[in-house]
Amino acid sequence: MSGKQIIVIGGGVIGASIAWHLAKAGARVTVFCGEPGGVATPNSFAWINANWGNPEPYFRLRITAMTGWRRLAAAVPGVAPEWCGSICYVLPPEELEKFAVEQTGWGYGVKRILREEVQRIEPAIKHAPEWALKIDEEGMVEPRPVALALLADAERLGAKIRTGVEISALALRDRRVVGVVTEEGVTEADEIILAAGAATADLAATAGVRIPMSASPGLIIDTKPAPPMLEHIVVAPQMEMRQAPDGRIIASTSFNGTDPGADPAATARRVFDDMCSRLVGGEQLELEGYRIGYRPIPEDGFSIVGRADGVEGLYVAVTHSGITLAPALGEFAAKEVLDGISEPLLASYRLSRFS
Ligand SMILES: Cc1cc2nc3c(=O)[nH]c(=O)nc-3n(C[C@H](O)[C@H](O)[C@H](O)COP(=O)(O)OP(=O)(O)OC[C@H]3O[C@@H](n4cnc5c(N)ncnc54)[C@H](O)[C@@H]3O)c2cc1C
């Protein structure tokens, strides 16, 4: 059914992708977002990947999402992921080996390269490891511009984008979520999709729905634009770094952000100094600043996507790794809401697993 009136709460990468897929399918969509482009989204490291200690179903969802980025890039002006690949030596050799075997078995394009090759393709890396993994199919995206591009194209396709409008609660009638409450009153719709990032749990609670999640802070640093130094996403022990198309090097010391600690400015300086010490020419880099994002993380670390239990009319999409997952979650959420189908790749990621 494409004539449904749907409200999407959230204009980060997840809400924007859902809105775009709904608008593309011909639904009547209104997006409400306080911050167009998102809250966590602009502060993301924005590495598109399918790996890292994940069970196979999550790997399958992520790899589908990676293909989805290629589909979106072909369809949406301004969506332009860079398929730069990654070089990874973050784990001790035995664990890296185990990881390579597992991922290769799942069909991930993981190649082993020796130190000489690491040095040849990334000459800026000091102290190159004896060997590393090279994963060509991984990439990066500029997260806020991409979310804005999806919103702009959704608008071109007929969606209404209401920016700067805060929703104070979901409007509930006879155990059905019928709309959203703003300072203008209640706006009604046939379906409400809640993709409000870290604010998702609080908004769901206004309809009596519990979303078990936490939002933890992660700090990343940006250098001032520098001449080309890094071709790949480099995933080293306690340091991941990448160079954005505008020349900034973006880094953090652990997956998806460093703990900012009590003195974030000092933490940022430490991350910057450590990063510079690892790069040939690092002494010429200048720190531009740091960003702290709150990661919207469901309690067990995996996505929550699907209809909320206990009420009608409410669909929830909240996740960590949202940059990677946005194309798949957008596509599947739109299909599930419009066509009533159940996407098998989401089977492990329903809210009901917590009940
Ligand atoms: C430091 C850091 C590093 C990360 N690194 C990666 C990575 O390398 N790869 C990866 O895949 N993922 C990464 N992530 C995770 C990823 O960034 C997030 O999963 C993703 O951005 C979440 O997007 P979202 O749209 O759900 O939320 P957000 O971007 O937070 O957007 C939420 C939206 O909801 C709106 N909203 C909230 N409450 C209301 C309200 N009451 N009324 C109206 N609107 C409201 C906001 O205004 C905003 O538009 C990282 C995150 C962080 C913080």
pLDDT score at 257:
82
Do both 116 and 176 map to the same domain? no
- For residues 154-160, average pLDDT: 98
The CATH number of the domain holding residue 277 is: 3.30.9.10
For 2-24, what is each residue's pLDDT tens digit? Answer: 578 999 999 999 999 999 999 99
For 230-275, what is each residue's pLDDT tens digit? Answer: 999 999 999 999 999 999 999 999 767 889 999 999 999 999 999 9
Residue among 303, 299, 316, 310 nearest 349 (CA)? 303
**Tally of CA atoms within 13 A in the half-sphere of 253 that contains its CB:** 17
Asked which of 277, 297, 317 is the last residue of a domain, the reply is 297
Asked which of 297, 314, 336 is the last residue of a domain, the reply is 297
Q: Which atom of ligand 1 is nearest to the CA of 325?
A: 11
- For residues 159-165, average pLDDT: 96
178 inside domain:
yes
| Cα angle 263, 265, 270; round to 5 | 95
Q: Is the pLDDT of residue 285 over 50?
A: yes
pLDDT score at 2:
53
**Beta-strand relationship, 314-318 and 304-307:** antiparallel
74 inside domain:
no
Do both 188 and 103 map to the same domain? no
250-275 b/e (C-beta count within 10 Å ≥ 16 → b): bbbbebbbbebeeebeebbeebbeeb
Do both 124 and 226 map to the same domain? yes
In this prediction the pTM is: 0.97
Q: Which atom of ligand 1 is nearest to the CA of 293?
A: 53
Q: How many angstroms separate the alpha carbon of residue 162 from the centre of ligand 1? A: 18
73 inside domain:
no
Do both 51 and 148 map to the same domain? yes
Asked which of 297, 324, 346 is the last residue of a domain, the reply is 297
Do both 124 and 150 map to the same domain? no
The CATH number of the domain holding residue 334 is: 3.50.50.60
Q: How many domains does the chain have?
A: 2
Give the range of the structural domain holding residue 181, as residue numbers without chain letter.
5-66+143-212+299-354
Q: How many angstroms separate the alpha carbon of residue 27 from the centre of ligand 1? A: 24
Q: Is any ligand 1 atom within 6 A of the Cβ of residue 316?
A: no
As beta bridge partners, residue 78 has: none
Do both 303 and 338 map to the same domain? yes
Q: Is any ligand 1 atom within 6 A of the Cβ of residue 68?
A: no
Q: How many angstroms separate the alpha carbon of residue 125 from the centre of ligand 1? A: 31
12 inside domain:
yes
Q: Is any ligand 1 atom within 6 A of the Cβ of residue 349?
A: no
Q: How many angstroms separate the alpha carbon of residue 12 from the centre of ligand 1? A: 6
11 inside domain:
yes
As beta bridge partners, residue 220 has: 291
Q: Is any ligand 1 atom within 6 A of the Cβ of residue 9?
A: yes
Q: Is the dihedral of CA 161, 328, 42, 321 positive or negative?
A: positive
Q: Is the pLDDT of residue 1 over 50?
A: no
Do both 182 and 227 map to the same domain? no
Q: How many angstroms separate the alpha carbon of residue 272 from the centre of ligand 1? A: 24
Contact 143, 278 (CB under 8 A): no
Do both 30 and 150 map to the same domain? yes
Do both 230 and 284 map to the same domain? yes
Do both 62 and 111 map to the same domain? no
